[in-house]
Amino acid sequence: METASYLATIKVGDAIEPTRKAISCGVSFLFREDGFVWTRLFTAKSRGEAVQRASNWFFSLKCSKHAKANIPHVTVKDLTVDDPRNEVFFYKRFRCFDANSKLLEDETIERLLKESRGKLRKSKLDRKKFACRSSVEWNRNSKRLSYRPPCLEWTGFPRLYLEPDTGAFIYKLKKQSQQTVGTKYSFRKSVNTTPMPRKEGDGRRVWTGKVIDIEKGFKIQELRYKSVRLKAKSLEAARKEISLKWSETHSADDS
C-alpha cells in the first residue's frame, strides 16, 4: 500500500524555538495567524498510523527539560494532524475513539459535524491528559442507538461505492493483506478421464474426478480495508481520480 506524508502541528503560542536536536529530526518553527507553531512530517500508510506516531513524538517531547521549562502550557489539545487523503468522514460504523478520529484540525471537525447532521459534537470531557483523545463525540441528545444509515451502494467498479444520502463516492484501499500458512496441495496420481465433448477425435481428454487435494491452513493475518472519501462528484470523475492516485496499487491488488 502507498504511503503518504501527514503534517503534525503543535501550537506553542509564544516565540519559543525547538532545540537543535528537534530541528535535526525534522521539526520546523513557523509563524501562522494564530501564533507560533512547531511542525513535523510523518510518513505512514494511513492517518491513524500517523496520529499514533505524532502522539508518541509529542509525549516524548514533553518529557524533555526544554519542554518542561519553556512550553509547560502546551497540552495534547494543541496537537493536530492534517488529512490530505480525506480519510476522515462521517458514515456508517463511525467510531469516535478510533485513531483516525483523533487530533483533527478545526476545519475537519466543522466538516464532520456538518456531515453528521447533529449526531456529533466537539469533545467536551477531558477524560485523559496523557493520551490523545477523540476530537468529536456523540451528541447525547441524539438517538445514537437508533441511527441506522443506509448501506453503501456498489458502483460496479472494484472497491468503489456510493453513499446514497450525500452522493459521495467511497473507495476502499487495501490496508492489510491476508496471510495464510500451512496450506498444502497434493496432486492425485490416478484420475479418470474422458474425451473432451466439444473436441471429439483430436485425442484431447478431460478429468472426470478430483485432481488436487487441498489441506486448509490457518490465517495469521486478516484482510483489512480502509475507506477514503473521494472529491469527485460523478462516477467517471471518481474512476479518473482513482487511476491518478492509486493506479499502481489498484492493479497490484486486483492481479
The tens digit of pLDDT for each residue in 222-233 reads: 888 888 888 888
**Which helix (H) or strand (E) is 244 found in, with range?**
helix 235-254
Residue 53: exposure state from Cβ atoms within 10 A (0-12, 13-18, ≥19): middle
Domain extents in the chain? 4-138, 153-173+223-254, 179-219
Return the closest-CA partner of residue 8 out of 45, 58, 67, 46.
Answer: 58
pLDDT at 145: 46
pLDDT at 199: 60
Q: How far apart are CA 91 and CA 151, in angstroms?
A: 9
Report the DSSP beta bridge partners of residue 119. Answer: none
Q: How far apart are CA 248 and CA 228, in angstroms?
A: 17
- Averaged confidence pLDDT in the chain: 83
Low-confidence ranges of the chain (pLDDT < 50): 143-147, 255
Report the amino acid identity of residue 85: R
Q: DSSP state, 152?
A: P
Non-local CB neighbours of 95 within 8 Å, separated by 6+ positions: 101
**Which helix (H) or strand (E) is 204 found in, with range?**
none
Report residue 225 as a C-alpha cell.
480495508
> Above pLDDT 70, what percent of the chain?
87
**Does residue 44 contact residue 53 with C-beta atoms inside 8 Å?**
yes
